[in-house]
Structures are given as C-alpha cells and as structure tokens.
Structure 1
Amino acid sequence: MDLLSSIVARAKSDKQRIVLPEAEEERTLCAADKALADDLADIILIGNPAKVEALAKEKGLTNIGKATLIDPENYDKSEELAEKLAEIRKSKGMTIEEARKLIKNPLYLGCMIIKTEGADGQIYGALSTTGDTLRPALQIIKCQPGITCVSGGLLLISKQKQYGEDGVLVVGDVAVTPMPDAAQLSQIAVCTAQTAKSVAGFAEPRVAMLSFSTKGSAKHEVVDKVVEATRLAKELDPALKIDGELQADAALVPSVGAKKAPGSDIAGKANVLVFPNLEVGNIGYKMVQRLGDAIAIGPILQGIARPVNDLSRGCSVDDIYYMIAITACQAMDAKK
C-alpha cells in the first residue's frame, strides 16, 4: 500500500469530524462530496445553504446531503459561541459586539466549533491566505502545551527507496517561521516528528538537525544554534531519537554518516529532516521536488492544539481530499 492509500485507510478506521468553512468554493465542495462518498470523514460545511445546494446540483454532487451544513448568518449557536469567543479574547479587549461580528466569519466559526468540541479539525485556504488561516487558529485554538512556534511539515516521497522510510521523508519547517531561534527550532523538530508518526505512520521517527556542518566540522553561530536546538529538543521530548548538527548527506547516506558522524544512531538513517531556517527548507524541498521528481505533500501545519491546515489557493480537488485524510490522522493523534 502506498503512503497516500495508507493515510486514507487510517482516516477511515476512526472517522473524525472535519470542518470545511469554504463550502461555497467549487473544489472544496467537490472534495467534500468525494470524502463523503468514500466515508473518509464526517464533514461539516460552512456556507450559505442556497449557494451550496445550487453548486452541488450544478456539479452533480450527490453526497453533499450527508454533510452537516451550517449557515454562518443563521446558526442557532452563534450567540453562545460569540460569548465564548469574547471570553477567550477579553484580555485583548474584544467586546461581545466584535465577537458577534467575527462569529459570522466562517473561518472563526469553524475554529470555535472545534474549541467547543463540536469538531476535530479544519481545512481552508482555497480562498484564504495563510495569514487568514493562522489568525483564528492561534487566537482561539492556540498551540499545543509547551509549544509556541507553529511550523509547516511536508511529506517528501522519492523514487530513491534507500532513503528515509522506503523513500518517504518528513521535513520541516517549509512554510511558517522564517528564522527560528534555537528554542523554536527545537519545537519544530518535536512537532515534525509528531507529524511523521501521526500522518506518515512512522513507528520510529529518526530526526536529523541539518546544517552545513557535521559534528563541529565548521564553526559558526548558525551551527551553534542547531546544536543548541538539538539539546533543547531532547529536553522537550526525552524519548525522541535525534542528532545534530548533520549535513544532509551525513543524515541520509549510511556510508557518509559512518565516516562523518561515527557512533551516531541517526546519521545515515534519518527519516525526518529539520532545516535550520525557512529559506533553506522551502528552497530545498522545491529543488528535490522538481529536479528529483519527488512528490511533495503539504505543508501540514504543526504545533496547533487541534489540527487546522492551510491549502494552496491553486490546490486541486485531490489535494483537498488528501488533506482531509491528513487532518483526520492528526486529529486522531491529538486525542491520545
């Protein structure tokens, strides 16, 4: 079974409640219909019922009736959720009037439904920017305990089966934090390992903290940051299998790892790669994707207490479908 099929199978094994707040968007609605047809998740759609039903009819979508459809302008729990939102944000000066206005915004409404245990995860971004995706999630759902840094993980599927787990690597951060300090980088490492378990299904994440140096081969403050981040990650999660600093070849190639980092349990065996900053991560994965003909799945937002995922505005129906499955797998892990 390939990785995507495995993710879908895990999602189906314990159906989660996933909110799609951009229900009036064509690709989103088509992906919802496919997810409902496949019994992938319990879908909660937020949008104008007349517009959603008209679009479903136009596209010949026959499964949308299985979803829970919420009208943000006429939701019977709006006042209750507005009061709770005002309470959550009172330290920031939010009034009940402001909360009532925000709760009509599908992105905020979806996050409040998750906050009050009415759903397990949310996906949007086909119409919204990453900033619009993160803002309500961070204001309402907030980060996992002990985590202050949101990051973006990515599944890289290579034809080079000798690397990672049969060619699959999980990498981060490729999407959110431009220049993490050592503490933030340590959190990215822990969260990317969590993604490797919950989404990629790795039984044992082996994390390499990447740098242009291996075990002191170069001296620089950015190398020192990676070394310190490795130490802090071990404090955050003492059971985590992690090593750094390692160059990419030392992390991935057994013969190089044995030569450059003898005695390391990770060198040459890494299946999770943590980049020292967003610039390196974003450039690196896109080069592997294009020059190495690898498949890149994500970014998958990490560090939020309940899964909220961002989509590219150029996403396809299949992209959304698989992100529903990924978010469901994250939600299952968050409940443990």
Structure 2
Amino acid sequence: MPKPVYVFSSGRLGRQANTVVLETAEAKRFVPVEQVSELYLFGEVELNKRFLEFAAQKGVLLHFFNRFGYYVGSFYPREHLVSGHLTLKQAEHYLDAQKRLDLARRFVEGGLENLTRLLRKEEAKGRRVSSTLALIRDALAQVSAAQSVGELMALEGRSREAYYATWGDLLGEEWELNRQRRPPRDPINALVSFGNSLLYTALLAQIYQTHLDPRIGFLHEANYRRHSLNLDVAEIFKPVLVDRLIFRLIRRQQISPRHFLREGDGVFLSEHGRRLVVEEWERTLQTTYRHVRLKRSVSYRTTLRLELYKLEKHLIGDEPYVPYRLR
C-alpha cells in the first residue's frame, strides 16, 4: 500500500523508469513510485517539470516545507476522482446559507466534543480542568443557536483559548501555551504549528482519494485560500491526533527545549526535532483500533478517509454527517 515518504536531506529528486530517485552528496535513494502516496520535502530539494509530470501521472502529492519546517504549500495533481455531481452538491451546500451553517455547526460541535473528551481523560487522572470543561460545555450548548459562521468561529476560538490555557498545568510551566502562529515565539507554539501542518497535509492527501473538492470548505471561507475543506475537518481531529501526540512527546520526555532553534523573532523545530515528531506522527496514523460500526480494526489514517466518505454521503443526501468522536 502506498505511504508517505519524508525527505529531510538536501539533494535532487528525479525519475528512473517507475522509481523515485533522491540523489544527495552521499548516496542515491530509490523508492518505487507505487509505494509512494505523498512526498514531504523538508530538505533543500531540486526537481524539474519532468518530475512533476511523473508525480501528477502517478497521483503523488508533494508537500513543501521551508528550512524551519514551516509549511509552504503543496503540489496537488489534477484530480483523478473528481465528480461533477458531487462538486455541484458541495458548491450548493456552500452557497446555501442554511446548509453551510448546518455543516459548520457539525465541524465545531465535533471539535469541541473531542476537546471535552480529552479533558475528561485528564480530569480522570486528577488534573484540575473542571472550570475549562464547564466553559467548553457552555460553548457546545450555544452552537445550535449560532446564526452565522462567524459566531461559530468565535465560540470555537474562545473554547480553544481556554483549553490551551490549561496546558501549563497539564504539561508543566515551561510548556504553558499562549497561542501565536506566525512566527511561533516559543517551543510549544512551534510544536503546535508543526503538528497542525502535518494534519492539514494528511487530510489533503486523503481528500485527493475521494470525490471531494478541497477548495470548498464550510466553516472556513472558500476565498483566495487554495484549500479550506481540510481545515474544516482538521478541527475535529486536532484534539484526537495532534494534541494527544504533543502530550505524549512531552510527558515521555521525548522532546525538550533542546530540539528547537531560535532565529530572528521565531522559534522552530530543529531537523532532529522534526524527524522525531514525524516518526511519532506516522506511528500515530498507523495505530489501529476496533471500529464500532465496521466491526474491524482500522488505522487513524483510514479514519480520516472514512470521515470524508461520511461527508460525501451528507452532501448527496444519503446520511447526515456525524463527526468522529474520541473514544
């Protein structure tokens, strides 16, 4: 089964028959293209139009990160599974104010519900998070009454701000989080930004394997941003995949301030730090659990795809969309 390939070395990407070749100063690495779903490019990599044509032909996505590990953008090949019918339905749900609001509510409810479930697990361990839980539950109760996407974004923003305020108590004072994005000013902000970027790109890759159009979101505006649907679905999975990953890395002392670099006004993961996070991220996506409805084991990467299939069914009127809930 094809899987993501992460490239941290600098060099040149090329093609040899049906093989992806990474040539560095030290060696050549050969990977059959059938084994590659995506390429995550963290190193200074050169490539040409011929290679991009090869990637497009084989349906391989390329995700580019700068030298600080900051997500730059993706090469998204021409959609090979695109469905005119579903694209029209997706646009219809965006242009119809009530249909869009209904879906936006579902994304926010799913995200806030997973925040509460994560905090309840922490409360069961003796952590003092009852006031934050009460605030998020109150926000959840207001979601159904929200009359605009802007109101929903405000509810989600206030809830996440309160949730992040608990991180100093949950993880230790040095990991206290006051969310800042561009550039991140401390290690914990850098870690959250990097983890979120991995989730956004993982979802983009899964959208590519469906009939959905990544440019049409519902909670996030489908404006000049290249992709927005992956940002919508990410709201549900940030607590499930990114936040729990960060908790594990810190509590197991796998990551520490020494894995970060300061340059100018920003703080970024070092190459060693990025490798460490990526390894744990891949391990997370490959982790399996027993799916209650399917009655079989599925991985979290498959769970992302299943979530998109549920969204497809909602758009064509087969079945209302119910967001994934943290077990």
Q: Sort the TM-score into its range (normalised by shorter chain).
A: under 0.3
- Flag the structure with higher helix content: 2
Provide TM-score, normalisation by structure 2.
Answer: 0.23
The structure whose RCO (Cα within 8 Å, separation 6+) is larger is 1
Provide TM-score, normalisation by structure 1.
Answer: 0.23
